[in-house]
Amino acid sequence: MRLKLLVITGLFQVLPLILVGGIPNLGKAAEALKPPEVWTSREAVIFGLKNSPNSRIAYQRITAAQAAQAEADALLKHPRLDLSGFYGQTNNPLLSFGNILNQGAFSDDIDFNSPGQTDNLNLKAELSYRFYNGGRDQALVDSAESGYLASQAGLKEVQHQLGYEILKAFYYIVQAQDQHEARRAELAAIASSLEVAKARFEAGDLLKTEVLNFEVQKARTSENLIIAEHQKDLAEKSFLNLLGLEKGNVVISSEDESLLNAPEVNNRRERPELARLSAALQGAEAELRRTRGNNLPTLDGFASYQYDYGWINDGSGDSWAAGVKVNYNLWDGRRDNAEMVRKEAEYQALVEELQKLKLAINLDIEEAVLNYQQAVKRRSVTDKMVEVAQESAQLSRERFKEGVILSSDVLDTEVRLTDTL
């Protein structure tokens, strides 16, 4: 319970950093970040968002989406210019005669059936532009823009989840350290009571079985202390792993654990999962429009200029060509129609996924608020339980020294005290 409350409290402290973009320069190449000597929850989240591979992977996805957006935009707004060149020789009558004409080297004594060997250097520039293709290019641009928005929302989603996991690991270390200290205190208390029991046994005031009870409990508590040490070490390793660190010393700051009030939930639409799926829905709608455009004609324009030169005939010449071209796919076996049905089904599935996500987010928020309220109420009860258990344990130790109670009573109070911590 205490761990859950600490995570919720810490999350309210660092979440504004993510929501308002307070983590700078995450998209740059990884730099040698120096971990602080003492970790606070805020520093841990900032460091993790900068250094974790998950954040850098998400930024690479944004870069890829930006490139796809620029690619689609260039296809829609800019013509294409191609430059080409080649050199070759041939004695093929048709090709040789074409070279002679292109080079302006025609003469009356040429044998049309055997014009002989010719060579040709051809340099060509061609400009082309698609004027219309049924809106497919615009749909591609819209789809790329949706992909970019989805990648941005994906980054936010990664940051939110990573921040939560870092806070959870941070306060799990706090909890593990508290458990370790509680086990050490329990072992020290039992060892002290064992010494008292031995003294009373030597004085003939206590049975041997009572001493053995303390010996058994001391061994059991020593085992629990070893387990607590292992859990603490494992918690620290998990914490470093989330921060993108292979090794290092973990020193946790003693932070103010005062409770924060739960914020008013009025920004459900800002949830990155919702933004990502909304962008995906826009992309699916654009893909559906692009598929429908396959049933419409295309109109292309082109213009070219070429220069030819031949060393064998010592001729040269240039020429140009320009025009427009219309293409229309009259029949393709209903392939485009089948693709439209598939895209429509994918779009409708995303609509339902979006509604499902809205319901899940609403439940998630309501559950989080209830859990927070429950944790606040339980903490006040737990604090009282710890206070009572400490006082009870102290009284039991004193009464055992006086010979009023048995060893089992002392051991029971020590176990209850450890369980409340």
Q: Check residue 389 and give its pLDDT.
A: 66
- Highest mean pLDDT: which range of 136-145, 180-189, 249-258: 136-145
CA-to-CA distance for 227 and 164, rounded, in angstroms?
26
Contact 147, 283 (CB under 8 A): yes
- Chain centroid, CA 121 distance in Å: 54
- What CATH number is associated with residue 388? 1.20.1600.10
Question: Is 50 exceeded by the pLDDT of residue 22?
Answer: no
pLDDT band at 27 (very low <50, low <70, confident <90, very high): very low
Question: Strand runs (DSSP E) across 118-277, as ranges?
Answer: 118-132
Higher pLDDT, 255 or 157: 157
Higher pLDDT, 200 or 406: 200
pLDDT band at 270 (very low <50, low <70, confident <90, very high): confident
Of 187, 189, 194, nearest to 211 by C-alpha is 194
CA-to-CA distance for 177 and 331, rounded, in angstroms?
73
> Which DSSP string do the residues of 7-76 spell out, in sequence order?
HHHHHHHHHHHHHTT-S-S-SSPP--PPPPSSB-HHHHHHHHHHH-HHHHHHHHHHHHHHHHHHHHHHHH
Mean pLDDT of the chain: 81
CA-to-CA distance for 101 and 115, rounded, in angstroms?
11
Q: Check residue 181 and give its pLDDT.
A: 84
Q: Check residue 276 and give its pLDDT.
A: 92
The per-residue pLDDT for range 282-320, each reduced to its tens digit, is: 999 999 999 888 889 999 999 999 999 999 999 999 999
Domain that holds residue 345: 2-420
Question: Is 50 exceeded by the pLDDT of residue 158?
Answer: yes
Mean pLDDT across the stretch 255-262? Answer: 54
Indicate the range of 45-49, 118-122, 204-208, 212-216 predicted with least confidence: 204-208
Residue type, 414: E
CA-to-CA distance for 413 and 48, rounded, in angstroms?
42
Q: Check residue 400 and give its pLDDT.
A: 61
pTM beyond cutoff 0.85: no
Domain count, the chain: 1
